[in-house]
């Protein structure tokens, strides 16, 4: 079975956490919306009256199943592709961490969209500056400090133990994205989370991930996605 | 086995989605932090170096398991207490909807905390007004319209079919909370979502839920929780 991933074709966004899992697993998939007529196919899937239409991309078609919500997709993929433990306790723990990352991703998005996701950044700039200040003062230390502590508490190999899970892949993306969006702030902050920085580098060096990052399947960061580089927010 | 729920004792908050599921299931649980020395017990559980400490309340202790993140707790409880389908496809679908509700809950919280969760409301009031405008103009119609469409598409009984799930309980709470926080705006909006309003009333009338709502186990809405009534935001 070849998976079909449906996500906005111009950005990494939330789809990237799924792409990283599919790439690490080395499983066959099509990034549908990046192909011809892919975007209209995606919109059509979201309009299934009487069925189970997803609220928003990303969603994954796996045979007859259509699974929406990033963390839910990873829950499904994790146990099938060796990216999560097989025990119920282990699966719930890894999923719990992914949901915490999802909360953080929403807060990252809010740094440039504090007045709501439908407005233009330019119309919310003063509020974005305030929100970004609070984000770096309170939220980044709280979230990244939590994951650093988990890494430290279990010997520093992977966040949930001796085997890589999709949570480690997602944390790679968080570090990578914060480096892109806030190069100055992140550079100053990295000394607080040496374990996470090291995890980022080890994930980036894994053969499947390294090949993916070099390929044109990896969409470059840009100012349409979750991680946006706005100079005035990176002081 | 008696479940132990850990959540802030003064508010409904995210813990309420778990309380509603436990109450509907009629299963035995202790709301630990509302009891003597409960808050310090809760803080101690979050400080388990080397273990699997939750990032934040709510979390549920089920025997040896400690499960964090609201939607993850419901995923665990759902299949055990007849509040979710038993098939994998059904469980993933219900969980997907709960994750969409979780996104909406974060956006509800952002109406009074647009500049970040650590600030006081009073310090973000002008931004809160803007965010609330956008929330009612764009986001409420999008989210509630989605669930109304699902209800409509399957005959209007419950959101995922003929059997109640934890998603229906959560949607009861969403309607109830919006009525509390924005009585004027919600009154004007309810005609757009008659199915959801009807679902709210049917959930409220279920014997276990009705008994719970009458009891002192149901904490009243207040201005510390997710749904806050600020007159200037309800125009």
Q: What is the mean pLDDT of residues A208-219?
A: 98
Q: What is the mean pLDDT of residues B22-39?
A: 96
Average pLDDT in chain A: 96
Asked whether the predicted pLDDT for residue A138 surpasses 90, the reply is: yes
**Domains delineated in chain A:** 88-206 (1.20.1050.10)
Query: Is A99's CB within 8 Å of B75's CB?
Result: no
User: What pLDDT shows up at residue B155?
Assistant: 87
User: What pLDDT shows up at residue B47?
Assistant: 87
Three-state SS annotation for B117-134:
CCCCHHHHHHHHHHHHHH
Cα A11 to chain centroid, rounded: 12
The Cα angle at residue B101 between residues A91 and B77, in degrees rounded to 5: 40
User: What pLDDT shows up at residue A2?
Assistant: 94
User: What pLDDT shows up at residue A104?
Assistant: 98
At residue A48 the predicted structure's pLDDT band, cuts being 50, 70 and 90, is: confident
Q: Are A99 and B72 in contact (CB under 8 A)?
A: yes
The alpha-carbon radius of gyration of chain B (Å, integer) is 18
Query: Is A92's CB within 8 Å of B71's CB?
Result: no
User: What pLDDT shows up at residue B1?
Assistant: 82
Asked whether the predicted pLDDT for residue A50 surpasses 90, the reply is: no
CA-CA distance, A107 to A95, in Å (whole number)? 19
Strand partners, A109: none
- Please give, rounded to a whole number of angstroms, the shortest distance from the CA of B82 to a CA of chain A: 18
CB-closest option in B69, B92, B149 to A72: B92
- Please give, rounded to a whole number of angstroms, the shortest distance from the CA of A177 to a CA of chain B: 20
Asked whether the predicted pLDDT for residue A79 surpasses 80, the reply is: yes
Asked whether the predicted pLDDT for residue B192 surpasses 90, the reply is: yes
Phi/psi at B68 (5° precision): -110, 170
Cis bond upstream, residue A83 (ω within 30): no
Q: For A150-161, what is each residue's pLDDT tens digit?
A: 999 988 899 999
User: What pLDDT shows up at residue A155?
Assistant: 87
User: What pLDDT shows up at residue A123?
Assistant: 87
At residue A51 the predicted structure's pLDDT band, cuts being 50, 70 and 90, is: confident
Asked whether the predicted pLDDT for residue B48 surpasses 80, the reply is: no
Q: What is the mean pLDDT of residues B179-187?
A: 98
Query: Which residues in chain A are closer than 8 Å to B113, comparing Cβ atoms?
Result: none
CB-closest option in B49, B93, B127 to A115: B127
Higher pLDDT, A128 or A154: A128
DSSP letters for chain A: --EEEE--TT--TTHHHHHHHHHHHT--EEEGGGSTTHHHHHHHHTT-TTS---SSS-EEEETTEEEESHHHHHHHHHHHTTSS-SSHHHHHHHHHHHHHHHHHHHHHHHHH-TT-TTS-GGGGHHHHHHHHHHIIIIIHHHHHHHHHHHHHHTTSSBTTBSS--HHHHHHHHHHHHHHHH-HHHHHHHGGG-HHHHHHHHHHHTSHHHHHHHHSTTSPPP-TTSSS---GGG--
Q: For A100-124, what is each residue's pLDDT tens digit?
A: 999 999 999 999 999 998 888 998 9
Query: Which residues in chain B are closer than 8 Å to A116, comparing Cβ atoms?
Result: 107, 110, 130-131, 134-135, 138-139
Q: Is the dihedral of CA B113, B119, B124, B125 positive or negative?
A: positive
Distances (CA, A) of A159 to A169, A170, A171, A175, B68: 10, 11, 9, 14, 16
């Amino acid at each position: 079975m070849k998976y079909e991933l449906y996500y906005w074709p111009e950005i990494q966004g939330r789809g990237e956490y799924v792409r990283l899992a599919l790439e690490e697993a080395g499983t066959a998939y099509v990034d549908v919306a990046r192909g011809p007529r892919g975007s209209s196919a995606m919109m059509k899937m979201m309009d299934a009256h009487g069925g189970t239409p997803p609220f928003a991309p990303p969603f994954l078609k796996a045979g007859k199943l259509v699974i929406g919500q990033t963390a839910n997709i990873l829950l499904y993929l994790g146990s099938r592709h060796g990216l999560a433990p097989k025990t119920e306790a282990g699966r719930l723990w890894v999923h719990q961490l992914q949901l915490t990352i999802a909360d953080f991703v929403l807060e990252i998005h809010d740094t440039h969209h504090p007045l709501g996701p439908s407005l233009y950044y330019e119309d919310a700039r003063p509020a974005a500056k305030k929100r970004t200040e609070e984000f770096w003062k309170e939220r980044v230390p709280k979230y990244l400090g939590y994951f650093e502590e988990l890494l430290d508490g279990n010997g520093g190999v992977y966040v949930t133990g001796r085997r890589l899970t999709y949570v480690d892949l997602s944390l790679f993306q968080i570090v990578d994205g914060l480096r892109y969006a806030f190069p100055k702030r992140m550079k100053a902050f990295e000394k607080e989370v040496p374990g996470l920085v090291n995890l980022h580098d080890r994930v980036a060096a894994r053969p499947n991930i390294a090949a993916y990052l070099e390929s044109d399947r990896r969409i470059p960061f840009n100012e349409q996605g979750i991680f946006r580089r706005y100079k005035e927010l990176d002081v």
